[in-house]
Copies of this chain bind each other. A is one copy, B any other.
Amino acid sequence: MQSGNAVEALFNPRSMAVVGASSNPAKWGHIIPSNILRDGYRGRLYLVNPKGGRIHGLPVHRSLSEIGESVDLAMVTIPAEGVREVLGDCAAAGVKAVIVISGGFSESSPEGRRMEEEMVERAHALGIRIVGPNTMGIYSAPWSLTALMPPVRPRPGHIAFAAQSGNLGTQMLGWGSYRGIGFSRFVCVGNECDLDFADYLEYFARDELTRVILLYVEGFKRPRRILELARKITPRKPIVIYKAGGTEAGRRAAASHSAAMAGSQEVYRGMIRQAGMIQAETTEEMLDFSDALVKLPVPRGRRLAILSWGGGWGVVEADLCERQGLQVVPLPGEVKEELSGILPSYWSKGNPVDLVGIVNLEDHTRCLEILASHPDFDLLISLGTVNAAAAFGMAERPEEVPLEEKEVFAVRRRYVREGSNRFAEKVVELMERHGKPIVTVGMPQRDAETAEVADLPRDRLCVYTNPERAARVAAMLAERGEFLRARG
């Protein structure tokens, strides 16, 4: 049975119904429609409950057939036992895909497994495909559709994300919003009783809005099919994958969580490599890597220049990058000469380029331009200049500064902040001009990470809060470049 139309309807529903809508604020049948309405779903939303009435200001239909219009997508929040029953109504209303939120299926008991199998059988007989069960729902950016259980508000963007965990998946969406990282589509795959990773992957591959695919996986139902698909996709669109359940303790936990057979980590590693997928080693890297692949160009090689405000950070970053297989190459003579025209006589004359005590941020920008323009460097890492005001504690609340110092402090902060922002804009401009990535590091966490730093060009800039993350992202980009060149 073809999944294409169903997944198309899932992510682009002109209309959807929530079956099991509730006036009780503690029920998912209440909370999910509230999330959908809050984010302004662009299609038509229908609520269904045999009791009728009004919820969230909308009329409640007693059944799907009462709606009297065709419905593309249904989301079911009623107890497991009742789900099979409503499928007939769904089919009659023209529903192509049903998201089954309810738990209590194969993840919980042999009886649940039987119910799940019967549900799928019935659905297929009716020409319907099922998402879940035991899922937290979906998100689709072009429809402003946040059909999710938790009240996260995803940011629209270009990452499509399929997750075998509802909490982890939706919290990543929320984390992304804080950091200015946007998603095109999201699905919590649940028990995968019918539609599975392979089906979503196929859709993400052809979805024009999606530029990077992200997967959180405990175990694949159809690993061979995934391998076959991923091989075709990765030369065009990167796939970032986090594989959980690699240890004995993790495998046991996965078995009881998603009923997934986590399989051997070595087998998965081999498969990921063969398919050209990019393995995130930490949960943080899931977002770091996906975001960088959306925003930054891919480098032509591994030759790296480091520009650092603060010698210590330069030492740390040089160590990290060398360990990651990047080449911290010597500075060409003409670069040294040009930099000597800007930096004080006692500058390091080496790579990393230490900006020593230079407080004039225009000079930072000039040094960056010299390094970025030189053909001997394939990629750059800049530490300490982006977000400098926060790094030096200057982003603290003005009311904490003693009165007599307020004015001087404000002037100094404005100076640093403005210079730092001009530098960030130059980073973006130089990346576009030279087509090489510039990864930036700005401490501390709060300001560097959050979308609150509204004056930074976040849609084209990646800022990490420590040198480790920057080194890992830079190395990942270099590997991606090599992969693409090898595929011609």
A38-B401 contact, Cβ under 8 Å, with A107-B346, A257-B354, A396-B153: yes
Asked whether A318 is an interface residue with its Cβ less than 8 Å from the other chain, the reply is: yes
- Binary CB contact string for chain A from 202 to 222 against chain B (1 if under 8 A, 0 otherwise): 000000000000001010000
Closest residue on chain B to residue A304 by CB atoms: B249
Inter-subunit contact B174/A392 (CB<8 Å): yes
A402 proximity list for chain B (CB < 8 A): 37-38
Tell which of B247, B258, B322, B345 touches A319, judged by Cβ atoms closer than 8 Å: B247
Inter-subunit contact B346/A312 (CB<8 Å): no
Asked whether A323 is an interface residue with its Cβ less than 8 Å from the other chain, the reply is: yes
Inter-subunit contact B391/A312 (CB<8 Å): no
Asked whether A408 is an interface residue with its Cβ less than 8 Å from the other chain, the reply is: yes
Q: Which of A364-372, A441-449, A480-488 is the contact stretch?
A: A441-449
A354 proximity list for chain B (CB < 8 A): 253, 256-257
CA A168 to CA B104, docked complex, whole Å: 52
Min CB distance, A241 to chain B, in Å? Answer: 13
Tell which of B103, B283, B408 touches A466, judged by Cβ atoms closer than 8 Å: B283
Asked whether A70 is an interface residue with its Cβ less than 8 Å from the other chain, the reply is: no
Query: What number of A residues sit within 8 Å (CB to CB) of B?
Result: 100
Inter-subunit contact A314/B468 (CB<8 Å): no
Closest residue on chain B to residue A330 by CB atoms: B252
A350-B252 contact, Cβ under 8 Å, with A103-B357, A178-B444: yes
CA A75 to CA B310, docked complex, whole Å: 21
- Binary CB contact string for chain A from 254 to 281 against chain B (1 if under 8 A, 0 otherwise): 1011100000000000000000000000
Asked whether A108 is an interface residue with its Cβ less than 8 Å from the other chain, the reply is: yes
Inter-subunit contact B466/A319 (CB<8 Å): no
A449-B443 contact, Cβ under 8 Å, with A245-B319, A393-B153: no
A165 proximity list for chain B (CB < 8 A): 310-313, 315
CA A300 to CA B346, docked complex, whole Å: 52
Tell which of B168, B175, B452, B468 touches A312, judged by Cβ atoms closer than 8 Å: B168
Min CB distance, A264 to chain B, in Å? Answer: 13
Min CB distance, A300 to chain B, in Å? Answer: 20
- The residue among A107, A174, A179, A250 with the most chain B CB atoms within 10 A of its own CB is A250
Asked whether A85 is an interface residue with its Cβ less than 8 Å from the other chain, the reply is: no
Inter-subunit contact B446/A311 (CB<8 Å): no
Inter-subunit contact B249/A167 (CB<8 Å): no
Inter-subunit contact B151/A249 (CB<8 Å): no
- The residue among A167, A168, A345 with the most chain B CB atoms within 10 A of its own CB is A167
Asked whether A420 is an interface residue with its Cβ less than 8 Å from the other chain, the reply is: no
A283 proximity list for chain B (CB < 8 A): 316, 466-468
A–B complex contacts, Cβ < 8 Å, 14 sampled: A25-B408, A25-B411, A37-B405, A57-B404, A175-B445, A179-B445, A247-B318, A249-B318, A249-B322, A253-B354, A283-B467, A284-B468, A445-B449, A446-B446
Give 5 new A-B contacts, CB below 8 A, not counting A103-B356, A167-B384. A104-B346, A179-B445, A216-B312, A245-B319, A247-B318
